[in-house]
């Protein structure tokens, strides 16, 4: 997943100079797939961490905040990629 994110980043930088609309759509579709997979991975990771915690564990609030932040960033990036897919041709 990390390699796919780096690939999207590099392809976006290259497309910044090329300004290819087709490449933009390809990057966006791949980005949607990557962030859907990353969201599913993070949900499973949070569930696994939650199963390993015991009641009253001091690290639980920190882990909950980190898990929530991770999911928040996944959803924001997924939303941005979906906006690029559905609104990509309407630039002026």
Q: Which residues are within 8 A (CB) of 70 and not within 5 positions of it... i.e. 6 or more apart? A: 42, 45, 46
The HSE-up count of residue 55 (CA atoms within 13 Å, CB side) is 0
pTM confidence score: 0.81
Produce one character per residue of 17-36: b if its CB has 16 or more CB atoms within 10 Å, e if not: eeeeeeebeebbeebbebbe
What is the predicted pLDDT for the residue at 5? 86
Phi, psi of 88, rounded to the nearest 5 degrees: -70, -30
pLDDT bracket for residue 81 (50, 70, 90): very high
Question: Measured between alpha carbons, how far is 26 from 74 in angstroms, rounded to an integer?
Answer: 19
The 10s digit of each residue's pLDDT in 12-53 is: 999 999 988 899 999 999 999 999 999 999 999 999 988 888
Could you state, in order of their start, the residue ranges of all structural domains in the chain? 2-86
């Amino acid at each position: 997943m990390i390699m796919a994110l780096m690939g999207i980043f590099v392809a976006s930088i290259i497309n910044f100079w090329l300004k290819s609309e087709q490449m933009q759509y390809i990057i966006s579709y791949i980005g949607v797939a990557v962030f859907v997979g990353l969201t599913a991975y993070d949900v499973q990771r949070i569930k696994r961490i939650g199963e390993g915690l015991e009641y009253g564990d001091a690290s639980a609030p920190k882990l909950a905040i980190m898990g929530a932040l991770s999911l928040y960033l996944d959803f924001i990036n997924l939303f941005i990629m979906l906006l690029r897919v559905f609104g990509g041709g309407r630039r002026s």
